[in-house]
Amino acid sequence: MSDLRSLAQTARYLSRDECEALTRKALGFVTTPDGARVNISSGSQGNTRFAVNQVSTGGDSYDTSVTVTAHVGRRSGSSRTNQLDDASLKQAVETAERIARLAPEDPEFLPELGPQEYQAGRNWSDVTASLDPQRRAEAVRAITAPAAGAQLVSTGFLDTRAGSSAVANTNGLFAYARGTAMALTTTVRTPDGTGSGWAGESHYDWSRIDPAALGARAAEKARASRNPVAIEPGRYTVVFEPTAVGNLIQFIARALNARSADEGRSFFSKQGGGNKIGSKVVDERVTIVSDPFDPDVAGSPFDNEGLPTRRSVWIDKGVVTTLDYDRYWAQKQGVAPTASGGSLKMSGGSSTMDQMIASTPRGLLVTRFWYLRPVDQRTILYTGLTRDGTFLIENGKITRAVKNLRFNDSPVFMLNNLEALGTPVRVSASEDGGPGQAIMVPPLKVRDFNFTSLSDAV
Amino acid sequence: MGSSRREFVRTTSVAAAAIAGLAAVPSAARGALLAPTPSSPAFGDDPDIEALAHLAIDAARSAGASYADVRFSRNRSQSLFTRERRVQGLVDNETQGFGVRALVGGAWGFAASRELSRDEVARVARQAAEQARANAATLVRPVVLAPVTPVPRGTWRTPIEIDPFTVSIEDKVGALLDANAAALKAGARFVNSSMFFLREEKTFASSDGSYIVQTIYRTQPRVTVTAVSSDQSDFQTRSSNEIAPMGRGYEHVRDAKLVENAPKWAAEAVQKLTARPVEVGRYDLVLHPSHLWLTIHESVAHPTELDRALGFEANYAGTSFVAPPEKVLGKLRYGSHLMNIRGDREQPGSLSAVGWDDEGVKPESFDIIRNGVFVDYQTTREQAPYLAGYYKASGRPVRSHGCSYAESWSDVQFQRMPNVSLLPGEMDLDWADLIAATDRGIAIVGDGSFSIDQQRYNAQFGGQLFYEIRGGKITGMLKDVAYQMRTPDFWGALDMIGGRKSYHLGGAFNDAKGQPSQVNAVSHGCVPSRFRNINVINTGRKA
Residue A41 near residue A65 (C-beta atoms within 8 A): yes
Interface subset of B 62-121, CB within 8 angstroms of A: 85-87, 89-97, 99, 107-115
Confidence of residue B45 (pLDDT cuts 50, 70, 90): low
Cβ contact (<8 Å) for B18 and A81? yes
The minimal CB distance from A58 to the residues B37, B131, B455 is found for: B131
- Choice among A430-439, B9-18, B237-246 with the minimum mean pLDDT: B9-18
CA distance A355 to chain B (A): 30
Cβ contact (<8 Å) for B17 and A273? no
pLDDT at B83 over 80: yes
Confidence of residue B138 (pLDDT cuts 50, 70, 90): confident
Q: What angle do CA B449, B453, B459 make, to 5 degrees?
A: 45
E-strand ranges in A170-299 read: 174-189, 196-203, 234-240, 288-290
Q: Give per-residue burial for A214-233: e unless 16+ CB within 10 Å, then b.
A: bbbbbbebbeebbebeebeb
Which residues of B are less than 8 Å from A99 in CB distance? 21, 24, 90, 92, 169
**What letter does residue B190 receive in the DSSP assignment?**
E
The minimal CB distance from B543 to the residues A92, A96, A378 is found for: A378
Cβ contact (<8 Å) for B318 and A370? yes
Cβ contact (<8 Å) for B512 and A432? yes
pLDDT at B47: 85
Q: Inform me whether the C-beta atom of residue B230 falls under 8 Å from chain A C-beta atoms.
A: no
Rounded-to-integer distance, Cα B69 and Cα B284, Å: 50
Which residues of A are less than 8 Å from B42 in CB distance? none
pLDDT at A345: 98
pLDDT tens sequence across B107-123: 999 999 999 999 999 99
Q: Inform me whether the C-beta atom of residue A448 falls under 8 Å from chain B C-beta atoms.
A: no
CA distance B257 to chain A (A): 22
pLDDT at A129: 96
Cβ contact (<8 Å) for A383 and B451? yes
Which residues of A are less than 8 Å from B321 in CB distance? 456-457
CA distance B529 to chain A (A): 24
CA distance B71 to chain A (A): 13
pLDDT at A9: 57
Percent of chain A with pLDDT over 70: 98
Is the previous residue joined to B324 through a cis bond, with omega within 30 degrees of 0? yes
Confidence of residue A11 (pLDDT cuts 50, 70, 90): confident
pLDDT at B26 over 70: no
- Closest chain B residue to the Cα of A272, Cα to Cα: B231
Contacts by A304-307, CB closer than 8 A, 24 or more apart: A304/A39, A304/A167, A305/A37, A305/A112, A305/A113, A305/A167, A306/A37, A306/A112, A306/A113, A306/A116, A306/A167, A306/A168, A306/A169, A306/A173, A306/A175, A307/A113, A307/A116, A307/A337, A307/A339
- Closest chain B residue to the Cα of A404, Cα to Cα: B453
pLDDT at A5: 36
Rounded-to-integer distance, Cα B125 and Cα B110, Å: 8
Average pLDDT over residues A35-47: 97
Average pLDDT over residues B326-353: 98
pLDDT at B14 over 80: no
Q: Tell me the three state secondary structure of residue A130.
A: coil
DSSP-H helix ranges across A255-350: 258-262, 327-333
The minimal CB distance from A432 to the residues B95, B234, B517 is found for: B517
**What letter does residue A257 receive in the DSSP assignment?**
B
Average pLDDT over residues B309-324: 97
- Mean pLDDT over each residue of chain B, to the nearest integer: 92
Average pLDDT over residues A112-141: 96
Q: Inform me whether the C-beta atom of residue A371 falls under 8 Å from chain B C-beta atoms.
A: yes
CA distance B502 to chain A (A): 29
Q: Inform me whether the C-beta atom of residue A373 falls under 8 Å from chain B C-beta atoms.
A: yes
Which residues of A are less than 8 Å from B20 in CB distance? 79, 81, 91-92, 95
Q: Tell me the three state secondary structure of residue B35.
A: coil
The minimal CB distance from B460 to the residues A87, A103, A383 is found for: A383
Rounded-to-integer distance, Cα B399 and Cα B394, Å: 13
Q: Inform me whether the C-beta atom of residue A109 falls under 8 Å from chain B C-beta atoms.
A: no
Percent of chain B with pLDDT over 70: 92
pLDDT at A66: 98
pLDDT at B33: 27
pLDDT at A104: 92
Cβ neighbours for B273, distance < 8 A, ≥ 6 positions apart: B227, B229, B234, B235, B236
Confidence of residue A342 (pLDDT cuts 50, 70, 90): confident
Rounded-to-integer distance, Cα A90 and Cα A64, Å: 16
Rounded-to-integer distance, Cα A189 and Cα A198, Å: 9
The minimal CB distance from A103 to the residues B25, B90, B110 is found for: B90
pLDDT tens sequence across A270-291: 999 999 999 999 999 999 999 9
pLDDT tens sequence across A359-369: 999 999 999 99
Cβ contact (<8 Å) for B455 and A458? yes
DSSP string, A388-433: EEEEEEETTEEEEEB--EEEEE-HHHHTTSEEEE---EEE---TTS
Give A401's strand partners.
Answer: A391
DSSP string, B117-151: SHHHHHHHHHHHHHHHHHHGGG-SS---PPP----
pLDDT tens sequence across B359-368: 999 999 999 9
pLDDT at B495 over 70: yes
Residue of A196, A386, A404, A455 to mutate, interface with B, max B Cβ within 10 Å: A455
pLDDT tens sequence across B275-297: 999 999 999 999 999 999 999 99
- Closest chain B residue to the Cα of A265, Cα to Cα: B235
Confidence of residue A221 (pLDDT cuts 50, 70, 90): very high
Cβ contact (<8 Å) for B232 and A264? yes
pLDDT at B43: 66
Q: What angle do CA A77, A307, A125 make, to 5 degrees?
A: 110
Average pLDDT over residues B311-339: 98
Strand pairing of A439-441 and A344-346? parallel
Rounded-to-integer distance, Cα A425 and Cα A352, Å: 12
> How many Cα atoms occupy the beta-carbon half-sphere of B149 within 13 Å?
7
pLDDT at B308 over 70: yes
- Mean pLDDT over each residue of chain A, to the nearest integer: 96
Q: Inform me whether the C-beta atom of residue B20 falls under 8 Å from chain A C-beta atoms.
A: yes
For residue B245, which phi and psi values (nearest 5 degrees)? -65, 145
**What letter does residue A366 receive in the DSSP assignment?**
E
Q: Inform me whether the C-beta atom of residue A408 falls under 8 Å from chain B C-beta atoms.
A: yes
Cβ contact (<8 Å) for A456 and B455? yes
Rounded-to-integer distance, Cα B534 and Cα A51, Å: 36
Average pLDDT over residues A324-338: 97
pLDDT at B2: 42
Cβ contact (<8 Å) for A384 and B451? yes
Q: Inform me whether the C-beta atom of residue A93 falls under 8 Å from chain B C-beta atoms.
A: no
